[in-house]
Amino acid sequence: MNKRNFYLGLCIIAISIIFMGCENKENSTSNNSNADSAGETGSNSSIARENVDHFANLLDLSANPTNEAHGVYETNKFNHFSDLGAWHGYYQPAKDNKKLLGGFAGPLIVGEEYPVNLSDSINRIQITNKETNEKYDLSKSKYIDLSSYPGRLEQKYELSDFTLNLSLIFVSNRSALIRTDIENTSEEPLELNISWNGSVFDEVIDGDKTIDIGTSLQKDENAIQVSFSEVREQWNYFATDEVKYYISHDQKVSTDINGLTYKSTLKDPVSIKPGEKFETYTTESYTFTKDEFSAEKEKLSDYMKEQKDYFKENNQRWQGYLDKTFTGDNVKDFPEYQNAAVKSIETLMTNWQSLLEPLNMTE
């Protein structure tokens, strides 16, 4: 979100591409690089790595978000992921924070100019065995993987009864799409109650100043809506009363709200046979005006119904970024520059924000 970081990233990617495309052997460095171990082997032996799946976790997105988004030097405390010019983004939960598991941490939102955390984790899944009433504790999973790839975030939890996978991509400059799939890995049918819970901050801290952002929660059919108050803090935070954060489900849910905390539960239990999967989808949208919200809301059902196409298009788009970058004949000789280039692309796409339509505000 910082302009200085944007220009720094632009310089890094330009330098990285020049290095990789360079034909001059005199500019080469040692092949014994400290390249990240994730996905070191590519399907094409002439290129060290070429696929988006080969570049896991190049940026550390783990976080314990609080209502204080800034660290020293007035920069963000944690790295986050965003895409397509969106004005909000997400972290991966720090593994040592049990409370955050089961959802993508955050979101971080940009109050017209200034980034703040809206929540520590606004939409976490809770799975309960209907027969035994056992609430599955994701922190006790046999295996946990919280990974980021170019263009998407992934979470995987392996428990004795099932494997839970969460995937997040951006589908527009205002909305993210989250796929949740649960695979029954046991030998018996599973009947599960599934819910999501979360909360929002109503104030943010910037240095020695605490700002009331006037958030509130409302139910809206199969969705939960965060509304904002008009705040014009010149050096800290901006919002109007038209701003909304909106979480929508593809299936019927019932929602209970208690102050700044909510719980949305699927109205029907989920039955999964051994070896089969259950999938459900949610969208999370951050909009600034009534017109923006109305236009984006009309698209949400399409995002969820056509989710396979959106996930495919997302992968193709990001693969295209890498293909265009890795065009030099000597790419395979410089895996460290591949990492630098991909990091730069990820940073640029996170920092890029799309145009806002004129805002209606009172001074």
pLDDT digits (tens, 9 = 90+) for 212-223: 999 999 999 999
| 255 in any annotated domain | yes
Mean pLDDT of the chain: 87
Is 27 domain-assigned? no
What digits encode the pLDDT tens for the residues 135-191? 999 999 999 999 999 999 999 999 999 999 999 999 999 999 999 999 999 999 999
**CATH assignment at residue 127:** 2.70.98.50
Residue 42 placed within a domain: no
- Report the distance separating Cα 282 and Cα 124, nearest Å: 12
Residue 351: inside a domain: no
pTM, two decimal places: 0.86
Structural domain contains residue 286? yes
Percent share of the chain, pLDDT over 90: 75
pLDDT digits (tens, 9 = 90+) for 15-51: 444 333 333 333 332 223 233 333 333 333 344 688 9
| Residue 47 belongs to a domain | no
Residue recorded with tokens 């946990």: 144
Domain count, the chain: 1
Q: Is residue 1 part of a domain?
A: no
Radius of gyration over alpha carbons of the chain, in Å? 21
- Tokens at residue 35, please? 């390249």
**Please, what sign has the CA dihedral across residues 312, 314, 316, 318?**
negative
Could you read off the pLDDT of 244-298 as tens digits, one per residue? Answer: 999 999 999 999 999 999 999 999 999 999 999 999 999 999 999 999 999 999 9
- The range of the structural domain enclosing residue 297 comes to 58-328
- Looking at the domain assignment, is residue 112 inside a domain? yes
Kindly state the helix (H) or strand (E) to which residue 11 belongs, with its residue range: helix 3-21
